[in-house]
Amino acid sequence: MRGLDQLIAWRGKPKRIRSDNGPEYVSDLMQAWCTQHGIEHVFTQPGHPQQNAYVDRFNRTVRYECLNQYLFRELEEVEDYTTIWQHFYNHERPHMSVDGKPP
């Protein structure tokens, strides 16, 4: 939940969060967090992965370009490295959607 709290601090509170039906999203902890923050939690329909295609594609990019590159020993290392990688992804990495240029 710490990551979601950070997102709210950085970007503001969303009206709703959309997710698939994975166990981490249907958990009592996630539902309580959404209720506490006044955020509607909307689920994609089971068996319709295209409803979350952009997120699934981004998750694949994170896994292959970031998380699979190192063997992390502690969660803090993962958090530190993903913060650095996120900046690279958002500001320096070439993106196909903008003709191979960084955003």
- Compute mean pLDDT per 10 residues along the chain, 103 residues long, and list them: 86 92 87 94 87 86 92 93 90 76 66
Q: What is the distance of C-alpha 15 from the center of its chain?
A: 16
Q: 86-95 — which CB contacts under 8 Å span 24+ positions?
A: 89/61, 89/65
- On whether the CB atoms of residues 62 and 68 are closer than 8 A, the answer is no
Domain extents in the chain: 1-43, 49-103
In this predicted structure, what is the pLDDT of residue 33?
Answer: 93
Cβ atoms within 10 A of the Cβ of 59, count?
12
Q: With a threshold of 0.85, does the pTM exceed it?
A: no
How far is 98 from 103, CA to CA, in rounded Å?
A: 7
